Structure 1
Amino acid sequence: MNALEKYFLESNIITNKQAEEIGIKRHILASLVQKGKLERIKNGVYKKKDAVDDDYATISLKNEHVVFSFHTALYLLGFSDRAPNVLHISVPQGYNAEHIKRKFPNIKVHYVKKDFFNLGLIKTKTPLGSTVQCYNMERCICDIVLKRKSIDKQIFINALTGYFKSKDKNTRNLIKYSRILGIEEEIRKYMEVL
């Protein structure tokens, strides 16, 4: 089994950079496109010919300033069983996300102060196995508490109760993030109730 076949056991999409990291030159990718084994999604991004489209991966590849957040991050992290029909992404303030919105009309963009953008940033797998950036659970909890008026009540309640029941919760980080984001008092109230 060659390096590319091994890579595609983990993910359906590969970039030029990822291919170079596993020792595959760009001309080989181009050759595989000509032979009909790979499909070029966009410049420098390829997928297996028979692979199902992974919108999460397509959105995040070539957009390193895109992080899945809110409902979408909750779904990717397993804290919501509702597959989002609107994908929520966060980008730093000043980032022009129009090119993403044009290609994916089902996107909701949240603009985040640059100082807070990397807070709680992790990598996770999509349902189709691609690796994407999203916020961790502690950051998601802070975000949904900050915007609770615009969050679906059931998603909000399920996320909070699921988080506080989770053995993987990190309340130290939750308090730290809430302090940075200016909502420590509200977070402590939820901690007491749940």
Structure 2
Amino acid sequence: MRRERRNGVIMSESYAVNEKRELILQKVKEFIVAHGGIVKKNQLEELHIDYRRILDFVEKGDLIRIKSGYYTIRIGDYSEDELIVKLFPDAVLTMECALYAYGYIKRKPYGYQIAVDKNTSKSRFKLEFPQVTPFYAEPETLQSGVDRIDFGNAKMQIFDKDRLICECLKYEDKMERAVFQEGVLSYIKDEKKNIANLMKYARERRVVKKVQSMIGVWL
């Protein structure tokens, strides 16, 4: 076994290798913490570390791969909401997830429904936890009727209430009937609803007839 002398102390080659590994791991961990706790593969490339080293850290349990290309130190440090904010900062909460956020439905839905640019990579949504259902949209439609709310100790985009109801009407067949009805009835009872905005979004989303037949009779 090869040995080297350092500060008058003879060290084994394996000890030196392990020490180097720990120094690199510490560097990676400090980098992840400095960048909000979750980083993408292309961010780690800034460290100029052989990617095989990163894979070794994951295999040994020193790093956690949340999904392909995304890494953190401890998954338990984040709630599901926080993970959604960090993994999908460009997305917009919609459908059941948004209805629940507004208090329109009582039961928290399973997983997260988010609206995303139709050109985004489908591989982004291949993760076991948390469960995510993407609704692909034209880029320009993601700019209309968008607010921001507190979500997982951060800010997350969400369709405003009037736009959201139009989305639910458009994708009614993708929702449980009871959830759909609960959400629409809650909107009808909401004193802060904006009918002018509702009709504007209804025209944009091509659900005017549905708005007139399902909501108009109650207004």
Which structure: larger Rg? 2
Structure whose residues are more often helix by fraction: 2
Instruction: State the shift of 1:40 in Å.
Output: 2.4
Instruction: State the shift of 1:129 in Å.
Output: 4.1
Taking the aligned partners of 1:97 and 1:123, their CA distance within structure 2 comes to 24
Aligned residues: CA RMSD: 3.2
Unpaired stretches in structure 2, ≥5 consecutive residues: 1-29, 44-71
Aligned equivalent of 2:146: 121
Instruction: State the shift of 1:52 in Å.
Output: 5.9
Q: Does 1:144 align with 2:141?
A: no
Q: TM-score, normalised by structure 1?
A: 0.70
Gap change, CA 1:90 and 1:104, over 3 Å in 2: farther
Runs ≥4 in structure 1, deviation > 3 angstroms?
Answer: 41-44
Unpaired stretches in structure 1, ≥5 consecutive residues: 1-29
Taking the aligned partners of 1:84 and 1:42, their CA distance within structure 2 comes to 27
Task: Kindly indicate whether the alpha-carbon contact (under 8 Å) linking 1:57 and 1:132 is maintained by their aligned counterparts in 2.
Answer: no
3-state SS of 2:89 partner: coil
Percentage identity across paired residues of the two chains: 21
Gap change, CA 1:177 and 1:90, over 3 Å in 2: same
Q: Does 1:76 align with 2:125?
A: no
Q: Does 1:192 align with 2:204?
A: no
Count the aligned residue pairs: 162
Taking the aligned partners of 1:67 and 1:192, their CA distance within structure 2 comes to 27
Taking the aligned partners of 1:171 and 1:178, their CA distance within structure 2 comes to 10
Aligned equivalent of 2:8: none
Taking the aligned partners of 2:101 and 2:122, their CA distance within structure 1 comes to 21
3-state SS of 1:104 partner: coil
Per-residue CA deviations over 1:61-85 (Å, capped at 9, x if unaligned) read 3533211111111111211121121
Q: TM-score, normalised by structure 2?
A: 0.63
Task: Kindly indicate whether the alpha-carbon contact (under 8 Å) linking 2:85 and 2:154 is maintained by their aligned counterparts in 1.
Answer: no
Structure of higher RCO (CA pairs closer than 8 Å, 6+ residues apart): 1
Task: Kindly indicate whether the alpha-carbon contact (under 8 Å) linking 1:76 and 1:125 is maintained by their aligned counterparts in 2.
Answer: no
- Amino acid in the other structure paired with 2:108: A
